[in-house]
Chain A
Amino acid sequence: MSARRDPRIVTWTAALVAAVLILVNLGALGAVAWRAEGSAGWSAADWAALRFTLWQAFLSAVFSVALAVPVARALVRRRFPGRQALIVLMGAPFILPVLVAVTGLLAVFGRNGVMNDALALLGLPRLSIYGLHGVVLAHVFFNLPLSVRLLLQGWARVPSEHLRLSSALGFGGWARFRHVEAPMLARILPGALAIVFLICLTSFAVALTLGGGPRATTLELAIYQAFRFDFDLGRAALLAAVQAGIGLAALQLLARVTPPETAVTGLDRAAPPPPGGWATALGATAITLAALFLMAPLALVVARGLPQLPGLPAVVWRAALRSILVAAASTLLLALFAAALTAASLRHRWAEGIGSSALVASSMVIGTGLFLIVNPVIAPETLALPVTALVNAAMALPFALRALIPAARRAEVDFARLSLSLGLNARAHWRLVLWPRLRKPVGFALGLGAALSMGDLGVIVLFAQTGSETLPMQMHRLMGAYRSGDSSGAALLLLALSLGAFVLLERLIGGRDADT
């Protein structure tokens, strides 16, 4: 097929972006390893950490995705008032800062949480959230919404013609599932599982806090220990390399089990109404349960924060402004990265791999590595905010590419020949063919990026200096100064800003009905 030639600027930008990402994700690890001195041994405790890391990530992935299937299926086929708002709100836990989320979860599932109070009222024993099940519960809380989103995208790609066909053939729920939905799930599920697995692989604060102690040690905590406690850079690099190796293996496995995308596009017609009967009741139950599980902790964060909001100290508002600026810069970078690599991915296989590399990197290693890289040149703390924006963009990029690249490939498979035969140049092709097919995933990706950046408490901690505190940092500081009231106010502010940024960008860019 005679290919369209990309304008040179696209190629060069993609190459530049790739170089930056390699520096952030690989160069940082290299810098740490290079500075390493001392023995890098692998102890029995490390084996235990490895086992626990894999096991909790595996369980979290399986439960998140398995529970997402009935929820997504019910959501895609039902129209009810408030459906849009529900889908947006249900996405909130994923973009929630870890600290806020844990507070909310404890308010529901903790010893004095509403669930245990209810159990006590019924005369049942109180349940403890602490242990492996608590870790998995929290990870499901974070990743169920993401899994639902990924699956909704999968369902959206089932051509409505196929659904019409199955209605026409009088398929019952099971037959429809087997012939129409199962093949789609076979394509989507491995990816969703792998993503959740990778996210949980680097879990640290959640795993430790809810895991009940040292038996819940993950590799990321061991890396943290190597840096902060032993100052053993060699050990940190070794552990990080193992963690990255597992991540890469998971990605490889994913590539092998995912069947190739086949070309089926419908005409953007609305799907036919779903069959009624007991399926309706089941679907409604799935939606209700998921909404309760995801929203109750959020509601309690709101309820606790609201009275504190007016009395928040001025430094919190200044930190909020700083966080908005960082999120804005990070989103711009993300847009640039995502556009360049999506364009490159249509020609080159490497683009997606490099863009996704942050998924397997440890944020602790990235932060420390960048610190070591810039340290000889410039005082690292002067770069606190720019580096935070950069790393946030790199961290959100894998999710952005997950949404963008399949959509771009699909648009290319379907319409590249038409566009070539009509003589659309690169600009017109992007404007008239790709952009309209991509704006929904772009809105989703950038909204996600902005929200994640808003709540991130990662590298900033290493670089920060007085006067560059972001809102999550300031919130942590309030907690560290006995001010739990103010910190719950700050938590609500953070929740509002993260969710607000997400909704704003998704609507602004993705258009009104941008739910999938």
Chain B
Amino acid sequence: MLTLENTTITLGEFQLSADLSIPKGARVAVMGPSGAGKSTLINAVAGFVPLAQGAIRWDGERLDTLPPAERPLSILFQDHNLLPHLTVFDNVALGLDPNLRLDAAQNARVTQALAETGLEGLERRKPAQLSGGQISRAGLARVLLRARPMILLDEPFAALGPALKRQMLDLVARIATETGATLLMITHDPEDARHLCDLTLVVAEGVAHPPAPTQALLDNPPPALRAYLG
């Protein structure tokens, strides 16, 4: 279980507070108006935004004191998920060994992750030679390979078309199921939330509210969410 205990994040004038918990294995959509702090929340969990107060725990263990890489999670950013000068294979392999010194077994695991995400034959390519969808798949292949208990998505598929985005989300769902991971994803699309997420967490007016069942929430949205959904 992921718990945010009385947390406050302060970035200049901006403040966001959260006091909530997310059950293990849940898939949570993070929704709310632009600029409300969805990314800030995700980045605080990932370790890129410091807490002003409170604590973040995973299964009762303090998380917010750990460096990003030691937190039990994988994150995909909006962009810059791949290093442009490394091949697809190496970019994915970074998930296993940051020094890229892989043994045969590890090599095989990378190859398998690439195959599972539909990237066979593209191992030697650089990101510049890939399509948008393939770039997303490479990022996901690394998430799959790392197999951390949590997956955070900071709108990595925002630039993709609806059909392609849906494909990617299905792939995310498959990976989450396969690894039993808890999923936190920012989305603007209520359909994505309904399709994929059993819970939805609304961020609005400086507060990240505890997650509620998606279906009920979207059918009968609170005022902040209603204004946003229109």
Contact = CB atoms under 8 A, between A and B. Distances in A.
State if A and B touch, Cβ cutoff 8 Å.
yes
Contact residue range for chain B? 20 to 34
A425 B98 CA distance: 8
Nearest to A265: B80
B69 A422 contact: yes
Given A417-B48, A417-B77, A432 B68 contact: no
B126 A268 contact: yes
Contact of A268 (B80, B81, B84, B99): B84
B83 A2 contact: no
B68 A2 contact: yes
Given A267-B127, A425-B98, A418 B50 contact: no
B128 A422 contact: no
B86 interface: yes
A11 to B, nearest CB: 19
A428 interface: yes
A306 interface: no
A34 interface: no
B74 A421 contact: yes
A415 B80 contact: yes
Interface residues of A, number: 23
Contacts of A268: 84-85, 126-128
A37 interface: no
Mostly, the A contact residues are: helix
B196 interface: no
A8 interface: no
Contact of B84 (A1, A267, A420, A421): A267
Interface string B39-76: 00000001111100000000000000001111000110
Given A1-B48, A436-B85, A423 B80 contact: no
A288 B50 CA distance: 55
A267 B86 CA distance: 11
B37 interface: no
A424 interface: yes
Interface string A405-430: 00000000011011011111101100
A268 B128 CA distance: 6
Given A267-B128, A268-B84, A433-B83, A422 B47 contact: no
Given A268-B85, A415-B83, A420-B47, A432 B69 contact: no
A432 B85 CA distance: 9
Given A415-B80, A437-B85, A421 B75 contact: yes
Interface string B144-170: 000000000000000000000000000
Nearest to B81: A418
Interface centre among B67, B86, B135 (most CB of A within 10 A): B67
A268 B126 CA distance: 9
B94 interface: yes
Contact of B80 (A269, A418, A428, A436): A418
Contacts of A421: 46-47, 68-69, 74-75
A267 B82 CA distance: 9
A269 B125 CA distance: 12
A420 B127 contact: no
Contacts of B74: 421
B95 interface: yes
Enumerate the 5 nearest inter-chain pairs by beta-carbon distance, A residue then B residue, closest first. Answer: A423-B69, A436-B85, A424-B98, A420-B68, A267-B128
23 contacts: A1-B48, A1-B49, A1-B50, A2-B47, A2-B68, A265-B84, A267-B127, A268-B126, A268-B127, A268-B128, A420-B48, A421-B46, A421-B75, A422-B94, A422-B95, A422-B98, A423-B70, A425-B98, A425-B99, A428-B100, A432-B94, A432-B99, A432-B100
Interface of A: 1-2, 265, 267-269, 414-415, 417-418, 420-425, 427-428, 431-433, 436-437
